[in-house]
Structure formats: structure tokens, C-alpha cells
Amino acid sequence: MSRFIPLSIPNFEGNEKKYVNEAIEQGWVSTGGAFITQMEKQLAEFLHVENVAACQSGTSALHLSLSEAGVRPGDVVLVPPLTFIAAVNPVKYQFAVPVFIDCDDSFCMDPVKLRDFCEKECTMEDGVLMHKGRPVKAVVVVHVFGNMADMEQIMDIADRYGLKVIEDATEALGTYYTEGRYEGKYAGTIGDFGAYSFNGNKIITTGGGGAIVSRDPAEVDHLRYLSTQAKDDPHYYIHNEIGYNYRMTNLQAALGAAQMEELPEFIRRKQQNYEIYKKAFEDFDLAKLMPFREGTSSNMWFYSLEIDRTRITASMREIITALEKKGIQTRAIWGLINEQRPYEGEETYRLEKAPYYAARILNIPCSTQITQEEIGIVVKEVKALFEELANG
């Protein structure tokens, strides 16, 4: 195997080493330091929001958001089945009850089924939406692969039924609406809370790391306080609430501050490379490159091929393994969360599109430093394999 083309790897071509070395030289390596403040300011300016709290991960951002949204033990939270499990696990951290709502063709939550669930499976009691004797408190909306969910409809439903909306924008930093009611609004800044991730495979990375925004800037201050163990008195270590060790470190933020400088260029490359793939696959009848929602500008974080299952019956594992032998790293979309052992027996609502796409979606290499030559190799090998499998 002469070369290996990875699925999605970090890109450090800016001031990353310089800033990290500065943090080390200054001795500020833990959860205090100027780079944390700097990265929060960069994110706030980029997203056009007043306040951002940097934290340890996208998961911690979601957990803090659910806590601030008032989700308590026994409450119902409406969640997607087709996403990474970290989007739903924080619901369990709060000892709340997830109900899985199907996705639409964007892979994001289907607003029609969300509305139907609220109308047909729930009742309003004293102004509170109730499901089987439990209050329905919140909706977790994931902008899957950088594809914006239908936030106009989702926000209308949430407003009607008094639900808090937590946007999981962990994959969608830089995605925004270009038209409609939310024109110019970024993923994560429309609902009550927005969570971001800077994991190693995201469009920018701090190694680990995440961030939280809120419709109410004062809530972000409270979330920052909770993320630093809710310390009220630095001399006597007085704590008036249960806090968490969820603050981002200055070393992570040093990396992130450099990555933020490169973010617009990374998005440009993602969009450019998507168009190259799109043209290469447009006349291919064994798989199609999935589109992003009209009326949005997506960061196009991940590229998804929908496989024609009437002609290709090989398992996703067989396809991934065969391409890996050719030096190309790919992956299946995800195993449905409601089918995972910790969620067996949890309620689902009209799951049709989620299992359909789970069986058909293959993610292909999309790193910001992938070359046009490498894209050509990916296209050639994927087409050759699919044709072999279809004719075999």
C-alpha cells in the first residue's frame, strides 16, 4: 500500500506551535490563562454572539446545557437516533428519559414527526407538555455532519409547547442560514443553548475541548461558573452549587486560538472539495453524494455517500475493510443509538429514515489538507469497488 488517505485528521499549518509554546513558557497550562479568554472572544466574534464559555468537550457542553435548561430526573428529552451517542448520553447523566424522534433526509431531526409526537402522543396539563405522566422538557437537535436542521419549524414547535432547544452544533461550526427567518444565524445560536466540539476530527481542534453559547448571555456566565466547580470564594473555597471540572485548559485554548485564525480557510476548502466530489459522482448510479440543506451555507464537515442497496448488498464492514486495503479510510454513519445496549427499551417514534440511512451511508475522506489527486484516488477506488460488488 503506497499511500494512506485518512478520513478526517487535524490540520496544523498556522500558529499552533507558537501559541502552545507561549502557554508553556508562561506556565499557564491548566484551567486559567489568557488563551482561554482569547478563544472565547474569537468564537463570540465569529458566531456573532455576546458570550461564549469554553469547556472540556462537546459532551460537557451538552451536559451543562441540559442542566441549565432545567432538565431533571424523570423529565422527557426528545433526541435523535442517528448521531454520535455523546449527543444523548448527557440526558442520562441528568437521569432524564430520552425519546427518539426520526430524522429527515438531512439526517437531522424531522420537524413533522416532532410536531406529530407533541400533538398525538402528549397532552398539555397546566401549560406543561406531558408524555405518559412525565414533563417533556427539552429537544436536542443535532446538526449532523454540518448540515443545518430545519430550525424554523423546530423553533415554532418548541415555542408552542414550551420546550427548551439545545442545539448540538458539535459538527457544524461555521454553518449558517443564508435566507429565511434566521438568515445570517449560525448553527448553535438559534435555540436556547448551543454546544460545540473541538475533538481531533472536527473542523478545528483543541485536542479535546468544546464551547457553549446561550440565547441569554448571563446564562453563559453561570455555565462558566459551573464548569469551574462553582467556586464562589477563591480564598476559602466556598461552593454554593454542585459544579463540574469542565473548563477548557489554557493549553487546549492556545491550540484553539490558532485554529480559529484558520477556520474560514478550512471551511472554504471543505466546500471546494465537496464540489469536486459532487462533480465526480454526479453520473455514478451505484452511490450518490448527499446534499446539504438549501438556504444554508454549510461547513460541509463530512461527506456522505448513499449506497444503492438494491445493487450492492455487501455489509458496510466489508466495504470499509475493502477500501482500507486500498489505503482509503472510510466509516459507516453510526449504529442507531436506540439499538445500543444502554438504550434498549427506550421509546422511539416512527423511526423510518434513520434505519434507512444507517444501512446506506458511507463517509469518505474529507480532511482540509486532502489534495485533488487524493480525491481522485478515492473516487476511482470507490467506484471500482462498487462496480465490482454490483457485478459480483
The CATH homologous superfamily for domain 263-391 is Aspartate Aminotransferase, domain 1 (3.90.1150.10)
pTM > 0.85: yes
Amino acid in the structure at residue 164: K
CA distance 345 to 325: 38
pLDDT averaged over every residue in the chain: 97
Question: End-to-end alpha-carbon separation of the chain, Å?
Answer: 24
With a cut of 60, say whether residue 36 has pLDDT above it. Answer: yes
289-317 tens-digit pLDDT:
999 999 999 999 999 999 999 999 999 99
Nearest to 38 by CA among 322, 255, 359: 255
With a cut of 90, say whether residue 250 has pLDDT above it. Answer: yes
CB atoms within 10 A of CB 240: 10
Phi (first) and psi of residue 373, to 5 degrees: -60, -45
**Segment holding 250, helix H or strand E:** helix 250-281
Pull the grid cell for residue 261. 485564525
Amino acid in the structure at residue 256: G
Question: Which of 23-32, 91-100, 115-124 has the weakest average pLDDT?
Answer: 23-32
Q: Which residues have CB under 8 Å from 20's CB, separation 6+? A: 251, 254, 255
Q: What is the percent of the chain with per-residue pLDDT over 70, rounded to a whole number? A: 99
Class of domain 16-259: alpha beta
Would you say the CATH fold of 263-391 matches that of 16-259?
Answer: no
101-141 tens-digit pLDDT:
999 999 999 999 999 999 999 999 999 999 999 999 999 99
Mean pLDDT of 338-354: 97
CA distance 297 to 374: 25
251-287 tens-digit pLDDT:
999 999 999 999 999 999 999 999 999 999 999 999 9
Q: Where are the domains of the chain?
A: 16-259, 263-391
